[in-house]
Structures are given as structure tokens and as C-alpha cells.
Amino acid sequence: METNISKTLFEKAKKVIPGGVNSPVRACRSVGCDPVFITRAEQATLEDADGNQYLDFVGSWGPMILGHSHPDIVAAVTKAAESGTSFGAPTPLEIDLAEMVTEAVPSIEKVRFVNSGTEATMSAVRLARGYTGKNVVVKFDGCYHGHADSFLVKAGSGVITLGIPGSPGVPEDIVRNTVSIPYNSLEILEKTLRDTALDIACVIVEPVAGNMGCVPPSPDFLSSLRKLTKELGIVLIFDEVITGFRLSYGGAQEFYNITPDLTCLGKIIGGGLPVGAYGGKAEIMNNIAPDGPVYQAGTLSGNPLAMAAGLAALKLLQAPGFYKELNEKSAEFADRLSGTAAQVGIPVTLNRVGSVMTGFFTDEKVYDFDSAMKADADRYGQHYRQMLSQGIYMAPSQFEVAFISAAQRKEDLDRAIKMTEWSFKKLLEK
């Protein structure tokens, strides 16, 4: 598979863009190759600048749950664009999407739209601090909540992919108000939250960790977290940027029947366009300006193109049986992947929740950050390059997740299994 045009574009990009990319993991350094430059996408297929086609398991990192270029979403964006691309003023579409979100997500009574997941999480934390009058944020090792200063402590996603322990440029007086503890550890969770010396405003968590690979919550983790935060008057924030409208129409909180105080959303609610949102109890949300003293603003928040795309996407996700079919398809695919690994004799631990999954190259159970880090990232890199050469597009990091979409057909997944078996056998030859 020739990628000469992509290589030329990458060299050109590096002269004007740091690392040649606008988000670090895209540089593909951890998997030992250069990125391919994508020029178009349709349904479950990507096409690069050289004309190569790939079966897509990244889905723009989650939002393409319906596949690429869905005609209903394209039509909605086109129609909206004909009336203007940005107003910096209220639009009727904002109300329509807000009503759909509040009807869908159990915890959300009021919602504020922003432009990214990072904006959503940083705004939710500021709101929690303003509402409680406290300062400390508790997060979990390996969970990534965007690149705001206070979150780059033992963060997941590109931070661990690139081996960056934190980030220069983040002042110590900011991160001292962030406490990071092990995911799924009930003992440390209770000890931390009951520490009266800590001035805890909120706990923020990915209900299913998706940025150290897919790591499901242990059976009592989320319920214990909800019980403790409620007892101690600590705001509980679910970062559902990945899981929102992905695991079920009501997100992870509907999937697990756990209701947080605030929820952060992104990805799917913009139908693939840049968008984020945070929402929750009216009592808390009423503290946001102009109703309250906690300030947050954005010229492009509620952008009409993103709102139109989000409305079209959410309407499609309401189709009867959509999530049942998607999750069953994902479960069957995951079982076949695990079976292939066992048959070939290569150690792979596969974690899956709904249509989100990660195959870790390790024979140990992966249940937190430390166990995820035992996976063989070099072997994943070899596997990535081999699969890419056969037209299978995966996340360029052992510590990211694969997404199944409604657009992937049985024959697509059959081909992915066949190529996986081929790749696993080649790994054992090395």
C-alpha cells in the first residue's frame, strides 16, 4: 500500500504545524510510523490522499456512531449553512437540541453548549467549585478530561501514549488542588473523600474509562462513588464525552442506573461537528452567568451547524432497537477477537462495554491505570502497522479505544477478523 502523498503532506505539515498534527496522538509516533492523511469518508470507510481505503474503527474518536457522511446529517448541515454559519446570538436550534438532551440524559435538567469536551469539563469543574465554595478536584489515574491545566495530573489519552508525566506550563499552585487516585479502588476512594483536610468540591470520573484503553467500572465502583459524594456534599461529575449517547441513548448513567450531579458531553451530540456540553441539576446550573456568578462564555457556543447536525444525529439514534443491535454486534465481534487471539496463542485481554472496546497485549486482567500500563505497547505498534497495511484503520495508541458503528456490515467485521488473525500470526514470527 503506497502512501507517498501522505508522506509528502506530513513533511509539509511539520513546517507549519507543531509535529505536523493538530492533536498529538495523530502523529502516530507511539506506533512507529507516519500518519496517513484522510481526504474523505463514507459509512465505515476512510480514504487517504493516495486513494487507499480503510475500514474505520476510530470513527473520529467516537462521534461517528452512525458512520461517516450520513445523508440525514449532511442534509441538516447543508440546510443550516444556507441560512448562515455563525451568528454569535441565540438560535431556535439551541433550544431544540437542549430539549432533546434534557429528555435523554437522566441527570440533566439544564444544559449549556460549548465547543469541545475540554471546554465542557473545565466549565463543569469551575461550576462545581463556585457552587460549593471549595477548591479541590478529585480525579482518577489514567482518566483524561481534556487538556485544561487542572486535569493534566496522571492523565490518560495522548499524555500516556507519548510518555509525558504531566505537562510543562502547568503551575504547581493549580495542580495542587487536583488529587488523582486509582480507578476502581473503593478503599482509597473512601479514604480520600472522607479526608477532612481536603477541601473537595467535586469528583470527576469517566464512568467507563476510555483514555487508558477501555476499563469498565468494577461492580460497586460507581454506586459507591455516588453514595459517598451524596453523603459528603461533594459534586459528582460524569465525564460522558465518550459514553454519552454511545452506550445507550441516556449514556453510561442510564446504562448503569447511576445519576450524577453534573454531566459533560461531546462527540455524538454534534453529529461529528465540534461541540461539547455540560449540564445537570437546575439548582447547580442556575449558578452560571447570567443567572449566577460563575462565568463561562463562547462566541461559537451553540453554533447553528453543530446544533443542526446534533439534532439530526439524535433523532436517528432514537430508532427502535438501535442500541440493542449495535451492542450485540459489538459483543459478537469482541468474542471473535478474543477467540482469534486464543486460537493463535497470543496474549490479549479484551475489555468491552457496549460498542467501545480495547484489546490489550497482556495476559493479565486490566482494571486500572497500572494494569493497563503492563500491556505491550511495542507489540501493539507492530499490530497497528500491519493492520493499516491491510486497510484496517485503528487508533494509533495501545491506550485508546476502538469504536463499532452502525455502518459496519457483517462482511466488514469478517474481514477485520481475518486480518487480525493474519497480523497475530505475523507477530509470533518476530
| pLDDT per position as a tens digit, 201-215 | 999 999 999 999 999
Q: Give the least confident one: 134-148, 186-200, 338-352.
A: 134-148
For residue 278, pLDDT beyond 80: yes
Return all residues near 277 (Cβ < 8 A) that are at least 6 apart.
101, 111, 112, 113, 114, 120, 264, 265, 266, 269
| pLDDT per position as a tens digit, 195-245 | 999 999 999 999 999 999 999 999 999 999 999 999 999 999 999 999 999
| pLDDT per position as a tens digit, 3-23 | 999 999 999 999 999 999 999
For residue 356, pLDDT beyond 60: yes
**186-193 and 221-232 helices, crossing angle to 10°:** 10
Q: Are 399 and 160 in contact (CB under 8 A)?
A: yes
Name the grid cell of 262.
453534573
| pLDDT per position as a tens digit, 90-104 | 999 999 999 999 999
Dihedral of alpha carbons 336, 342, 345, 348, sign: positive
| Domain edges within the chain | 4-69+321-429, 71-317
Name the strand (E) or helix (H) holding 74. Answer: helix 71-82
Mean pLDDT value across the chain: 94
- Listing from the earlier edge strand, what are the strands of the sheet with 38-42? 38-42, 45-48, 53-56, 392-393
Cα distances (Å, whole numbers) of residue 313 to 64, 117, 306, 382: 9, 18, 10, 35
CATH class of 71-317: alpha beta
pLDDT tier at 161 (50, 70, 90 boundaries)? very low
CATH class of 4-69+321-429: alpha beta
pLDDT tier at 339 (50, 70, 90 boundaries)? very high
Q: Give the least confident one: 152-161, 192-201, 204-213, 321-330.
A: 152-161
| pLDDT per position as a tens digit, 46-75 | 999 999 999 999 999 999 999 999 999 999
Active site residues: 144, 239, 267
What's the pLDDT at 85?
97
What's the pLDDT at 95?
98
| pLDDT per position as a tens digit, 386-397 | 999 999 999 999
For residue 155, pLDDT beyond 80: no
pTM of the model: 0.94
For residue 166, pLDDT beyond 70: no
Q: What is the DSSP letter of 33?
A: S
* Alpha carbons 200 and 186: distance in angstroms, whole number: 17
